[in-house]
Structure 1
Amino acid sequence: MSGRTRAAGRGPAPGAGRVVVVGAGLSGLACALHLRGAGREVVVVEREPHPGGRAGRLDLDGFRLDTGPTVLTMPELLDEALAAVGESTADRLDLVPLSPAYRAAFADGSVIDVHTDREAMAAEVARVAGEREAEGYLRLRDWLTRLYRVEMRSFIDARCDSPLDLVRPDLFRLAALGGFGRLAPAVGRRVRDERLRRIFSFQSLYAGVAPERALAAYAVIAYMDTVAGVYFPRGGMRALGDALAGAFTKAGGAVRYGEAVTRLERSGDRVTAVITEGGDRLACDHVVLTADLPAAHRLLGHEPRRPVRIRHSPSAVVLHLGTDRTWDALGHHTISFGAAWESTFSEIIREGRTMSDPSLLVTQPTRTDPALAPEGRHLLYVLAPAPNLAAGDVDWDREGPRYRDSLVRTLEERGLDGLDASVRTEHLVTPADWARQGLAHGTPFSLSHTFAQTGPFRPGNTVPGTSNAVLAGCGTRPGVGLPTVLISGKLAAARVLAGGGRR
């Protein structure tokens, strides 16, 4: 039985059947931990030879690459999943708080270090933009904190199946905070400096919406980045999947690696078994599907009808560079902003082309953990937002290498002199590569967070016509991002424990 791992642990709850979780990504593992902690028998089936899902990995010439997300916030959600089986983050991970959380570099040559400590960031804002802006920052921070508290307890970490579920006291508190306005103006009312406005609104792009059009409610992403804190696990982001999977198997759960799921066996409105590529039949009382939504729907043989067309987020080009030097200007995370701003969103989202003056996220994990590269070497992860395959018609297999050269030239012009000559190994990922991994429209960011795809209007984690199948992951509620996929897994587990899907 290929790649099967089983650890001794508690037995199944009396009268409870087996749950099969398809996918050992972070949502699937969080779900499995919560179910195992409740005493359910759980088997996780994963097509890759390791856990993590989109938090992937690649070892190349002695460099240990994280191929998925690089920013970790809200580690208490990891702790919550691990606590379900009696463990903690401290048992499994060595998390390093990053200070600054980001370094923001601008086209005019100015640099702002983004601190999560209130006084340190106020002092930094005063240094670069004056006392008046520092006071505005403090107002912005307080607003972000109040917004987060309202949204987390009632709309993010909560079951929200229909618009009627929104009608609760916190809905009116959210409205009073301006959560249903637009993000960019909401930030702009508190800070006037254009650089600060960018720092506290660029995150909306990863939710698939330009700041001028995004709901102000999505400022909670900026809260997570700039107030709650950014962390990095020693060993790389791959350590997250290893930690969750290790705790799960220690608690008696089973993970079967290297086994793709090809179909679901059904009887009436119930899924009775999961069939793997190798022909194994895993009988189940419930199934949790964490694959990209189109793949999950193909397995279910059901494509739900929606009154409006599904919209996917922009994609990204990621360039991994193993170098023989580093640059003092780089932090662990550096946001390199171009002079252009609003036009970049239009180019990616509306015009379907690459940014003419790109804003880039450059991560140098070896600044925090040198062991991720051979001695004397350094690792860079360059993320450039890009149109998804539905929005644009870029021939990435042809244009990818040219775009790689363009990105390197841009970074050299912005201060990373000699970057190209320093490269000793590299790996390029384009939207075409994401598509080959099975991600719809070649985007790792799934569905965009438009109003019509937010809260109860986002695809839910139950499946009409199927009574015991539950969905989890970034395409379902509450949405995209490491914190939200962990919550998605927890909400999926609660569904199973409450009796399953929609009848």
Structure 2
Amino acid sequence: MSAASPGPRRIVVVGGGIAGLSTAALLAEEGHAVTVIEARDETGGRAGSWERDGFRFDTGPSWYLMPEVFDHFFALLGTTAAAELDLVPLTPAYRVYGEPAGSGPGEHIDVVSGRAEATALFESREPGAGERLEDYLDSAADAYDLSVSRFLYDTYATTEGLRDPEILGRLPQLAPLLTRSLVRHVESRFSDPMLRQILGYPAVFLGSSPYDVPSLYHLMSHLDLDDAVYYPRGGFTEVIAAIERLAVARGVEVRTGTAVSQILTGADGTANGVRLADTSELSADVVVSTADLHHTETVLLPPDQQSYPERWWRKRTPSFGALLLLLGVDGELPQLAHHTLLFTSGWRENFDAISGRDAHIPDPASLYVCRPSATDDTVAPEGSENLFVLVPIPADPALGRGGVDGEGDAVIEAAADRAIAQIAEWTGIPDLADRVRVRRTIAPGDFERDLGAWRGNALGLAHTLRQSALFRPGNASKRVPGLYYAGGSVLPGIGLPMCLISAELVVKRLRGDTTAGPLPEPAATA
């Protein structure tokens, strides 16, 4: 335990997703007594799991990126990602299909991670693009290293990190990256439509559009083109299981099927426990909510204790919503890689449909297909395939909810039918619909009902400029001492690695650590 820590405390963590479990594990490692309260019957949150007829589906994240963040997190707990997970590098990292110009499948290319492979691909499609990609990836790697060392692990409890001379000296280079959109940054360098889309689509992983996120996020291309893409065998439920296992081994109590109805405060206004849905109470010295921030603020706290009241949310931007399809398919599907992306030719129109004034489900849509059965024989019966399809759609619960075997709301099931037909046509699998044996849809109405997600969004607060870094909600309540936050709606942002970092930011808050970088890792034992 850090010398700056006042001693062991009783801590209640609200939410048993990756943010809640990782926060609990790190706090237990610090010596605190931690209880996790999860409303659903299973842990995992957005990174959940569903099984039927021998198929096991991840219901959320499916890209294992930023491996060094996972490595660092596990190192803080005295272990390694390699010891806890069976990580498989993917080759190709992903496949991309363009919209067909006529009948038959669209053009497709395989993207292989590695600088040499990526530059060769770009050069093969656009003379001179290989050299320009070298410069682009150099800049992306530099921005990524700067983000990890100076921005992502900063609580912004003080301006100490922002006043660092190295940061101030970089302002002339950083300013254009913060004020110019990612799409402008890409289009000023490359002409080939598919190459532009490869570099722009990572904005979706940030819950937004390449037209809306700042070009600083070109750093995402360092992850898939320069670095590598991995898959944890057994699925992302294995990541959740590993973190929960480490938490429980440190004494964390995990209670599932138990909803929190209120965060309690004492006479001095300090958080001192939670009230459960059955009206029982659990006392604590510290409360950490990893539930959706909007739910935490507007449901679990009274108005006078809300740092982010409803009027604050009216001026904020949620991540995209999502239509998820979990499909168990008879026979093999070699037309699809482990990760496959389908890009529409109407790129701007696609994103306008999702977040413009006349928001609607795009048709056709730029969508994503994960085929984990290409890599993992545990997720589908022999001779069958497991498909997870994500269609970015508006964050609007009024669009409806999904269901099993086509029993979701009509708008959602019709959109799912269109997505299946699009995949079939664009990738050359004409009988795909006929081969679907297991089908489940998940939609914004489900995200709202099951996860308390604000406006039914799929990921959290979108990474627009005014919702990134110091402009993003912090990890401590402004109104309630002893109340902290972690998860995709707060610092540092969206995605599994960001949730691991947000857990570490809670530890830094409790330690009183205002440094900008990651916590020191304990010395490895022989």
> Structure 1 length as normaliser, TM-score?
0.91
Q: Provide the residue aligned with 1:212 in structure 2.
A: 211
Structure 2 counterpart of 1:431, one-letter code: P
Is the contact made by 2:207 and 2:494 (CA closer than 8 Å) also made in structure 1?
no
Evaluate the alpha carbon distance shift between residue 418 and residue 171 of structure 1 in structure 2; reply closer, same or farther with a 3 A threshold. farther
Asked if 1:292 is matched to 2:330, the reply is no
Is the contact made by 1:160 and 1:456 (CA closer than 8 Å) also made in structure 2?
yes
- Within 2, Cα distance between the matches of 1:162 and 1:17? 24
> Kindly, what percent of the aligned residue pairs are identical?
33
> Structure 2 length as normaliser, TM-score?
0.87
What whole-Å deviation, never above 9, does each CA across 1:418-458 have from its counterpart, x for those lacking one?
10011011101111121221211111222122222122221
Is the contact made by 1:52 and 1:240 (CA closer than 8 Å) also made in structure 2?
no
Q: Provide the residue aligned with 1:283 in structure 2.
A: 283
Q: Provide the residue aligned with 1:404 in structure 2.
A: 416
- Within 2, Cα distance between the matches of 1:372 and 1:283? 41
Q: Provide the residue aligned with 2:364 in structure 1.
A: 357
Structure 1 counterpart of 2:54, one-letter code: G
Structure 1 counterpart of 2:323, one-letter code: V
Classify the secondary structure of the residue corresponding to 2:369.
strand
Is the contact made by 1:162 and 1:457 (CA closer than 8 Å) also made in structure 2?
no
Shift of 1:64: 0.5
- Within 2, Cα distance between the matches of 1:152 and 1:49? 35
Structure 2 counterpart of 1:105, one-letter code: Y
Is the contact made by 1:55 and 1:241 (CA closer than 8 Å) also made in structure 2?
yes
Asked if 1:91 is matched to 2:83, the reply is yes
Is the contact made by 1:33 and 1:82 (CA closer than 8 Å) also made in structure 2?
no
Asked if 1:79 is matched to 2:71, the reply is yes
Evaluate the alpha carbon distance shift between residue 258 and residue 192 of structure 1 in structure 2; reply closer, same or farther with a 3 A threshold. same
What whole-Å deviation, never above 9, does each CA across 1:193-246 have from its counterpart, x for those lacking one?
221111011121332432123201122233223333221111111111100000
Q: 1:59 aligns with which of 31, 43, 51?
A: 51
Is the contact made by 1:162 and 1:456 (CA closer than 8 Å) also made in structure 2?
no
Asked if 1:195 is matched to 2:194, the reply is yes
Q: Provide the residue aligned with 1:10 in structure 2.
A: none
Q: Provide the residue aligned with 1:418 in structure 2.
A: 431
Is the contact made by 1:184 and 1:216 (CA closer than 8 Å) also made in structure 2?
yes
Classify the secondary structure of the residue corresponding to 2:378.
helix
- Within 1, Cα distance between the matches of 2:136 and 2:490? 29
Is the contact made by 1:206 and 1:313 (CA closer than 8 Å) also made in structure 2?
no
What whole-Å deviation, never above 9, does each CA across 1:77-122 have from its counterpart, x for those lacking one?
2232222232221221101111221111112533222222111222
Structure 2 counterpart of 1:478, one-letter code: P
Q: Provide the residue aligned with 1:8 in structure 2.
A: none
- Within 1, Cα distance between the matches of 2:270 and 2:513? 12
Q: Provide the residue aligned with 1:6 in structure 2.
A: none
Asked if 1:472 is matched to 2:468, the reply is no
Q: 1:485 aligns with which of 484, 499, 506?
A: 499
Q: 1:26 aligns with which of 18, 31, 35?
A: 18
Classify the secondary structure of the residue corresponding to 2:388.
strand
- Within 2, Cα distance between the matches of 1:332 and 1:344? 24
Shift of 1:167: 3.9
Q: 2:110 aligns with which of 113, 116, 130?
A: 113
Classify the secondary structure of the residue corresponding to 2:177.
coil
**Moved runs in structure 1, 4+ residues, more than 4 A?**
161-165
Q: Provide the residue aligned with 2:150 in structure 1.
A: 154
Structure 2 matches for 1:312-461, cutoff 5 A? 312-350=318-356, 351-389=358-396, 394=399, 397-414=409-426, 415-437=428-450, 438-461=452-475
Is the contact made by 1:325 and 1:378 (CA closer than 8 Å) also made in structure 2?
yes
Moved more, 348-357 or 214-223: 214-223
- Within 2, Cα distance between the matches of 1:434 and 1:210? 20
Structure 2 counterpart of 1:55, one-letter code: A
Structure 2 matches for 1:170-185, cutoff 5 A? 170=167, 172-173=169-170, 175-177=172-174, 178-180=176-178, 181-185=180-184
Q: Provide the residue aligned with 2:518 in structure 1.
A: none
Structure 1: stretches of 5+ with no match in the other structure:
1-12
- Within 2, Cα distance between the matches of 1:131 and 1:231? 30
Evaluate the alpha carbon distance shift between residue 121 and residue 413 of structure 1 in structure 2; reply closer, same or farther with a 3 A threshold. same
Is the contact made by 1:470 and 1:496 (CA closer than 8 Å) also made in structure 2?
no
- Within 2, Cα distance between the matches of 1:425 and 1:289? 35
Is the contact made by 2:265 and 2:271 (CA closer than 8 Å) also made in structure 1?
yes
Evaluate the alpha carbon distance shift between residue 185 and residue 171 of structure 1 in structure 2; reply closer, same or farther with a 3 A threshold. farther
Moved more, 162-171 or 426-435: 162-171
- Within 1, Cα distance between the matches of 2:496 and 2:172? 26
Structure 2 matches for 1:237-256, cutoff 5 A? 237-256=236-255
Is the contact made by 1:85 and 1:251 (CA closer than 8 Å) also made in structure 2?
no
Moved more, 293-302 or 51-60: 293-302
- Within 2, Cα distance between the matches of 1:213 and 1:163? 26
Structure 2 matches for 1:120-139, cutoff 5 A? 120-127=117-124, 129-139=125-135
Evaluate the alpha carbon distance shift between residue 208 and residue 88 of structure 1 in structure 2; reply closer, same or farther with a 3 A threshold. closer
Is the contact made by 1:313 and 1:445 (CA closer than 8 Å) also made in structure 2?
yes
Evaluate the alpha carbon distance shift between residue 27 and residue 228 of structure 1 in structure 2; reply closer, same or farther with a 3 A threshold. farther
Classify the secondary structure of the residue corresponding to 1:179.
helix
Moved more, 54-63 or 82-91: 82-91
